[in-house]
Structure 1
Amino acid sequence: MQMTEVTYTDAIPIDSYGPGFFRIGGEVIEGGAVIHAKGARSWSGYDDPAAVLALGDDIDFILMGTGAAMAPVPASFREALEAAGIGVEPMASASACRTYNVLVNEGRRVAAVLLPV
């Protein structure tokens, strides 16, 4: 079997995650994080929809990492994003990290919005 290393030419990958942190493009973000093709930043949680809404012109949907397990996204957060035309796909944060890396490698307009595990 031939292995091919993935290179991200137009996006920043999620390198790893652990208890309370995400390693993105070689840098550590403690706590929650918002990652998209052009950058990454810390995120304070569902009370901060503005950080995600600001990406509206650059993304079509978010992968909502809800922590260690999949959990419902609060209605007010989901409704604010959907009103701006941003779809929300909830999943456990580990799944959101893996899925984000696959989708940005395909050139998709996606962001990962992650709560820590």
Structure 2
Amino acid sequence: MPITEAEFGASLPVDSYGPGFFRVAGVVHRGGLLVRAEAAGPWGGYDDLAPLEALAGQVDVLFVGTGAQIAYLPKPFVAVLEAAGVMCEGMSTPSAARTYNVLLSEGRRVAAALLPMPGETP
């Protein structure tokens, strides 16, 4: 079976991640990350709602990476985003990064808010 490499064009995929960091378009980001096709920057976690609410009308789904393991998203967090019109899907950070990249390569309107993986940062 032939394997086709994903095409991202000018969009910003998550290149890699490790303990406490993410690499997007060759730039290392420490701590939590909010990434979408056009931009990547810091995300302060579940209490940092303003940049996520601002995604309303710009993305079809927001993938929320909960760290190394899948965890329920806090109900107040989900309620605020739903009220703003942002659909969110919680999953482990590795799964959220992969899912974001796959849908981004298909040209879908997606974003990811990712909590970092635990461990010592390099």
TM-score class, shorter: over 0.9
What residue in structure 2 maps to residue 50 of structure 1? 50
SS at match of 1:63: strand
TM-score, normalization by structure 2: 0.91
Q: Which has the higher strand share?
A: 1
Q: In the alignment, is the contact (CA less than 8 A) between 2:55 and 2:86 conserved in 1?
A: no
Query: Does 36-45 or 55-64 show the bigger shift?
Result: 55-64
Structure 1 position 96, deviation (Å):
0.5
What residue in structure 2 maps to residue 17 of structure 1? 17
Q: Point out where structure 1 has 5 or more consecutive residues left out of the alignment.
A: none
Query: C-alpha root-mean-square deviation of aligned residues, in Å?
Result: 1.1
Structure 1 position 10, deviation (Å):
4.5
% same residue: 51
Q: In the alignment, is the contact (CA less than 8 A) between 1:11 and 1:38 conserved in 2?
A: yes
What residue in structure 1 maps to residue 120 of structure 2? none
Letter in 1 for 2:41: R
What residue in structure 1 maps to residue 64 of structure 2? 64
What residue in structure 2 maps to residue 115 of structure 1? 115
TM-score, normalization by structure 1: 0.94
Q: In the alignment, is the contact (CA less than 8 A) between 2:12 and 2:24 conserved in 1?
A: yes
Q: Point out where structure 2 has 5 or more consecutive residues left out of the alignment.
A: 118-122
What residue in structure 1 maps to residue 75 of structure 2? 75
Q: State the aligned residue count.
A: 117
What residue in structure 2 maps to residue 32 of structure 1? 32
Letter in 1 for 2:110: V
Query: Does 98-107 or 54-63 show the bigger shift?
Result: 54-63
SS at match of 1:6: coil
